[in-house]
Structure 1
Amino acid sequence: MWVPKGANVREAQRNAARADEFQALRELGTLEQTEPRDGDEAVRDKLTRRAGGCVQADVDAWLAHALAAHLGRHRAPAAREAAAGLLPPPVLVHAGLLAELARLIPDAGVDQLASAARLSTSEPEAARALAVFLARARSEAS
C-alpha cells in the first residue's frame, strides 16, 4: 500500500514524541498509570532502539499489564488481537500469566507480580505452561 511521504514523517514524529513521553513517565515512576494508545507497539520498537534494554523491560511490563487488564486501547478484543501480532512472545506470555494470576488473586499489585516478567523473559515456555495450568485449575474449581 502506498503511503504519502508526509504521512510517514508525521507518524515518525508522533512515535518519537510518544517515546519521549514513555521515557519521561518512566523516570517519574508513573508509566503504569498511562493507558495504551494506538501505535504504542511501534513506539516500543523505537524506544528499544533508542534507549536500550532497561527502558524496554519497563515498557514491556507496562504493555503486558495493559494487555492482561484490558486497559486503554486493549479494551477492544480486536485491539488486543492486533497488539498480539505486533508484540514479541515474552510480552504476550507475560500478559497471559498476569491475566491468570489476576484472576487468582484479584487485588495483587503490579509490584507483587514482578516475578512474572522475569519468568516470562527467562523461561517463556515455563511461564506459558504455568498460565495454562492456572487457567485449568481455575476452570476445574468453578
Structure 2
Amino acid sequence: MTRMWPPGGTRRPLAPRVAAPREPVDPAWIGRRVVRCRAKGMDAGAVAAALEVARFDARQASRHEGLADDACGPAELAEWERIDQLLAAAPAGTVYAPDVDTVVQAELAIDAAAAAARGAELCEAMRIAARADELQALRELGTLEQTEPRRRRSRR
C-alpha cells in the first residue's frame, strides 16, 4: 500500500525556485585572459613578437565584415600592447607573470567581490522562497490564517 503525503493526496504547489542567473559572456575578458596565459613567462622580446602577430591579425580581421563586431580581437591587441609597455618599463630580463601584474590582481579582486554579491543575493532569494513554502504549508494545515501581509491603514 502506498501512502500519499500530505494526507488526502493533495499536493500544494511550491514557491517558484530561484535559478542561479547565468553570467553573460564577455569576449573582451576572454581575449585578455587568453593573452595573459600565452604571455606568462615571456620576456620583452617574445612579447614584442607576439604583439606584431596580434597587430597583423587585427589588420586582417578589419578586412572581414563578419569580424567587425568581434570584441575579442581588439581586447587581445590592447592587452599585448599593455604587457609590452609593462615589460619595456621593467628591468632587462624580466618575464611576464600575471600573479604580480597589478591590473590582473585588481580585476580578480573586482570579480571576487561581484561573485560574493551575487552569492549573497542568491542566498537571500532562496531564503525567501523557503519561507514562502513554510508559510504555505502552515496555511494548508490551518495553523495560519493569513499568508499575505496585512495592508496598513492610513492614518489621517
TM-score where L is the length of structure 1: 0.29
Query: Which has the larger helix fraction?
Result: 1
Identify the structure with bigger relative contact order (alpha carbons < 8 Å, sequence gap 6+).
2
Which is higher, the Rg of structure 1 or of structure 2? Answer: 2
TM-score where L is the length of structure 2: 0.27
